[in-house]
């Protein structure tokens, strides 16, 4: 059995093995969630399936566990103990229990929510540290705002730009208060980030 190096190779591996393992891939895509719908030939049941090289990536990608019946991975490093069906191909070609309990689903939903919340706080803090303090002046001109932006964007990577572009109103207000600038200034910076991303 070839050892996959990433998610795509994992999908290819499963596709080459699935018939002998008693499974059939009915639908597959790498551009949406979940990755595939597979059928257990013995029971006839359909399973909405997500492939992840590391099972922990399921949480990292903020996938909705409600829309998934089975995770197929190469390495099972899921961040919490759960009975949710996770098939680690590297350790067994025999699928695990396919029972999907509401308790496990809710446990994963809760953990994912808190994980994403903590990550967003860290990202906001990182973005806050990269943005300079400028004079808090309600009459600051549009040209001055753009001048500040031309200095700022050089310190931001693509991930920072995306985060800045997608700030909601409450996040803009919070950032404006912490950086001692007006809400309009943050709004202008966010709009400038959107334009830069659109032009890439």
pLDDT in tens, 142-176: 555 555 666 666 777 788 888 888 888 888 888 88
Residues 21 and 80 in one domain: yes
Residue ending a domain, among 112, 141, 166, is 112
Residue ending a domain, among 80, 112, 144, is 112
pLDDT tens per residue, range 68-97 = 999 999 999 999 999 999 999 999 999 999
Q: Is the pTM of this model over 0.75?
A: no
Give domain status of residue 1, yes or no.
no
Q: Looking at residue 100, what is its pLDDT?
A: 92
Going by pLDDT thresholds of 50, 70 and 90, the confidence category of residue 99 is: very high
What is the span of the domain harbouring residue 38? 7-112
Give domain status of residue 52, yes or no.
yes
Residues 108 and 163 in one domain: no
Number of domains in the chain: 2
pLDDT tens per residue, range 48-65 = 999 999 999 999 999 999
> Is 42 in contact with 36 (CB distance < 8 Å)?
no
Give domain status of residue 185, yes or no.
yes
């Amino acid at each position: 059995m070839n050892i996959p190096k990433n998610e795509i190779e994992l999908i290819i591996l499963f596709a080459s093995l699935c018939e002998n393992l008693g499974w059939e891939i009915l639908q597959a895509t790498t551009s949406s969630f979940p990755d595939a719908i597979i059928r257990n030939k013995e029971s006839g049941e359909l399973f909405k399936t997500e492939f992840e090289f590391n099972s922990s990536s399921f949480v990292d990608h903020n996938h909705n566990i409600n829309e998934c019946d089975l995770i197929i991975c190469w390495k099972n490093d899921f961040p919490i103990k759960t009975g949710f069906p996770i098939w680690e191909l590297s350790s067994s070609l025999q699928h695990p229990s396919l029972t999907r309990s509401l308790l496990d689903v809710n446990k994963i939903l809760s953990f994912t929510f808190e994980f994403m919340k903590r990550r967003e706080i860290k990202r906001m803090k990182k973005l806050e540290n990269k943005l300079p303090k400028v004079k808090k002046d309600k009459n600051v001109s549009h040209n001055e705002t753009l001048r500040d932006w031309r200095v700022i964007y050089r310190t931001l990577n693509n991930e920072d730009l995306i985060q800045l572009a997608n700030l909601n109103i409450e996040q803009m207000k919070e950032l404006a208060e912490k950086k001692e600038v007006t809400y309009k200034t943050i709004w202008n910076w966010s709009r400038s980030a959107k334009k830069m991303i659109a032009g890439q």
